[in-house]
Amino acid sequence: MFERGKKDGPEGYSNEAAPGNSPQWAGNAPKSQSSGNPGSQGAAVIGRSIRIDGDLQGEEDLRIEGDVNGKIQLRNSTLTIGSEGKVRASVYAKSVAVDGYVEGDVFGAENIIVRKNAQVQGNMTAPRVSLEDGAKFKGSIEMDPDAVNAAMGGAAKTPSKPTPVEKTAASNDKVIAASEAAARKAR
Amino acid sequence: MPEAFNAPLFRKAVEQLDQERRCVVLDLGAAHTDTIALFSEYRCRLEIADIADGLGSLAEITDDLEQRAEALLPRAQQEPADLVLCWDLLNYLSLPAIRALSKRLSARGRPGMQLHCLIVYAATNMPVTPCPFIPQPDRSLLQLAADPNEIQAPRYSPEALGDALLGYTVDRAMLLGNGMQEFLFRL
């Protein structure tokens, strides 16, 4: 559906057209990227010159560096909103990582990561929410496992009771897992 | 490196939250990893208002002060708040602005909602911008450095503050070793 990023580069995405018949949407995706976005390597890319108004659905990982207004549903995949990305939408994905700007409610069946340069305005619902120091956030974070599970239609991997969080390190930045429940269950 | 200070009423407010019962916490400060980590121990929805940058909008005392106070807060949810964390932000508001803000907070709170704040009382001056306060695992607070420039502190008396916080009663007040007075109000 989207341009497939190069898999051989460390950035995991490209500004080159996709092979085959894939639409050539991405244009000027930046080469720089913060490290450690799970699932961003090989993800489809919406480049920074692209603007989309409407609903996006898919079954593959997606990286957004452009503007998207509407609704995004990647229920079994990872969505990365890159440093150039501007999303004004309701977002549903298995996993969401935000480096750029988001205005809207964000649902992650597994987790949401808000990186230090991100700006998020809206409500976040996920079994595990991480926010790096420096990130700008205004809205609510749902931490009640029962409420998370209900919001995710039972898809969230949450226990019936909350458990204390643990501190983890990622990309030399302190990241606090707001709820490690899903991770613990997965172990 | 600043040292954490003991904040007994903050500790009390947090520990009064029932770990088995769902609760809503409204944090008027900026999002911080440690605050999220602290409240992830509870079945909690954490609302983060991050109003510091917008305090200037309450400087002018006009009839629409309440509307402007409401505009600083996150989108209202149906579920009322159990605890409001004001940190040192009330020092940066006039008494009419505190009254307007507290009315909007009352409208979002359940009966018995608690409101915690820190008021400068010993020092004549305070930083020109509000300070980040970071909860520690033992529920003490770490006050991070803010703008080194200073302005005159209003040094609100308990009576003046009580008058401004219409509908609230002082649950407890304590003088802290760092020159601040800690208040816990109840709606």
The whole-angstrom distance between B77's CA and the closest CA on chain A is 9
Tell me which chain B residues have a C-beta less than 8 angstroms from the C-beta of A175.
Answer: 33
The whole-angstrom distance between A128's CA and the closest CA on chain B is 9
Mutate to test the interface with A, among B33, B43, B44, B50 (most CBs of A within 10 A): B33
Query: Which of B101, B108, B116, B121 minimizes the C-alpha distance to B54?
Result: B101
pLDDT at A165 over 60: no
Which whole number is the average pLDDT over A88-108? 96
pLDDT at A4 over 50: no
Closest residue of chain B to A164, computed from CA coordinates? B41
pLDDT attached to residue A30: 45
* Contact (Cβ atoms closer than 8 angstroms) between residue A94 and residue A61: no
pLDDT at A51 over 60: yes
Nearest CB partner across the interface for A137, out of B34, B43, B48:
B48
Q: Give Cβ neighbours of residue A172 (< 8 Å, ≥ 6 apart).
A: none
- Tell if the CB–CB gap between B31 and A131 is shorter than 8 Å: yes
pLDDT at A18 over 80: no
Render pLDDT for B56-81 as a digit per residue (tens, 0 to 9): 999 998 899 999 999 999 888 889 99
Find the radius of gyration of the CA atoms of chain B. Answer: 15
pLDDT attached to residue A150: 83
- What is this model's ipTM? 0.89
Instruction: Give dist(CA B67, CA B162) in Å, integer.
Output: 22
* Contact (Cβ atoms closer than 8 angstroms) between residue B145 and residue B154: no
Please report, for chain A, the start and end positions of each structural domain, with discontinuous segments joined by +: 3-186
Nearest CB partner across the interface for B41, out of A164, A175, A177:
A164
**Mean pLDDT, chain B, integer:** 93
Tell me which chain B residues have a C-beta less than 8 angstroms from the C-beta of A138.
Answer: 31, 48-50, 74
Please report, for chain B, the start and end positions of each structural domain, with discontinuous segments joined by +: 4-186
pLDDT attached to residue B2: 76
Which whole number is the average pLDDT over B131-156? 91
- If pLDDT is split at 50, 70 and 90, which confidence band does B146 have? confident
- Tell if the CB–CB gap between A139 and B74 is shorter than 8 Å: yes
Closest residue of chain B to A135, computed from CA coordinates? B31
Query: Long-range contacts made by residues B141-150, C-beta under 8 angstroms, separation at least 24?
Result: B141/B4, B141/B5, B141/B7, B141/B10, B142/B2, B142/B3, B142/B4, B142/B5, B143/B2, B143/B5, B143/B178, B144/B2, B145/B2, B150/B125, B150/B126
The whole-angstrom distance between A146's CA and the closest CA on chain B is 8
- Tell if the CB–CB gap between B47 and A140 is shorter than 8 Å: yes
User: Which residues in B have their CB inside 8 Å of a CB on A?
Assistant: 19-20, 22, 30-34, 36-37, 39-50, 74-75, 77
- Tell if the CB–CB gap between A176 and B33 is shorter than 8 Å: yes
pLDDT attached to residue A149: 80
- Tell if the CB–CB gap between A141 and B36 is shorter than 8 Å: yes
Q: Using CA atoms in the order A64, A65, A66, A67, what is the torsion angle rounded to 10 degrees?
A: 60
| Chain B touched by A178 (CB under 8 Å) | yes
Mutate to test the interface with A, among B36, B42, B85, B138 (most CBs of A within 10 A): B36
If one compares B5 and A160, the residue with the highest pLDDT of the two is B5
Topology classification of domain B4-186: Rossmann fold (3.40.50)
If one compares A166 and A155, the residue with the highest pLDDT of the two is A155
pLDDT at A179 over 80: no
pLDDT at A10 over 50: no
- Tell if the CB–CB gap between B45 and A165 is shorter than 8 Å: no
Nearest CB partner across the interface for B36, out of A138, A161, A178:
A178
* Contact (Cβ atoms closer than 8 angstroms) between residue A138 and residue A123: no
pLDDT attached to residue A9: 35
**Mean pLDDT, chain A, integer:** 72
